[in-house]
Amino acid sequence: MRAEGRVVGLVPTMGALHDGHASLVRAAQEQCQPVVVSVFVNPKQFGPKEDFEKYPRPIDADRALLEGLQVPYLFAPLAAEMYPNGFRTSVSVEGLGERLEGRSRPGHFRGVTTIVLKLFEIAQPHFAYFGRKDAQQVRLIRQMARDLNLDTEIVVCPIVRDADGLALSSRNAYLKGDQRRAATVLYRALDAARHDIAAGERDAVRLAGALRKKIEAEPLATADYVEIVDAETFEPVLRLRRACLALLAVFVGSTRLIDNMLVEEQGDSLSIAL
């Protein structure tokens, strides 16, 4: 298809597809023909105490959703195909993955970048589509693509949310009853910070403190981290400038959820994306 001059798009996923994934597919379809969707629950990005075994794998439902979206190609390999006996190679992006998710989930990003590079090599896409909800992951993948001169452009798409603001995630299926209601605290905290910024607050330390206080007020929620960082370096900032991300990782019961808000300078004002 490349030889025919067609533009190939790839949407890498771990399955349990939802409307967030569908939005990535639609974005890909605007630029590419064909679009390939991969479904692979990657064991190398799960820690020993994480939810690899119970991670949802509704492959029949995923296939039906993709057929409804008129996706022509679903790539759903087995782990033994992606990591055959004797597999020894991994890919690491140094300096961007040690904090935040990297600190909480040692080895996670090495597993992500390794599998994404393999998927790029297999599918040979011109464009690959990722959601901004996994902001640190996207930043590392962009760095990998640039450093290794990959012939794939990384496209970052907006966060898709439920009606009550909760960012769509395959792990939301773990939330039941009061936990599902409590999970909206991530959005509620970020939305409160958005109003503070709109009112003129620029002190990142105060904003992060207010975010943490809002989360701690929810009895079923426990913050893993709450930070405001530079969107390029992922280092903490003292004041909002250039492009910053407010990043949250929160346990609701035993379910770990992440969310973020992007704040960018636009002339004399700030643009905020939730």
- Catalytic residues, which ones? 21
Are 37 and 13 in contact, with CB atoms under 8 Å apart?
A: yes
Taking each helix axis as running N to C, give the angle between helix 135-147 and helix 108-123, from 0 to 180 degrees, rounded to the nearest 10: 60
Terminus-to-terminus CA distance in the chain, angstroms? 37
Do the bridges between strand 255-266 and strand 127-131 make them parallel or antiparallel, or are there none, so unpaired?
unpaired
Nearest C-alpha neighbor of 131 from the set 40, 14, 232, 243: 14
Report the residue count for the chain: 274
Would you state the structure tokens that stand for residue 225, as one six-digit string? 């981290």
Return d(Cα 96, Cα 203) in angstroms, integer: 24
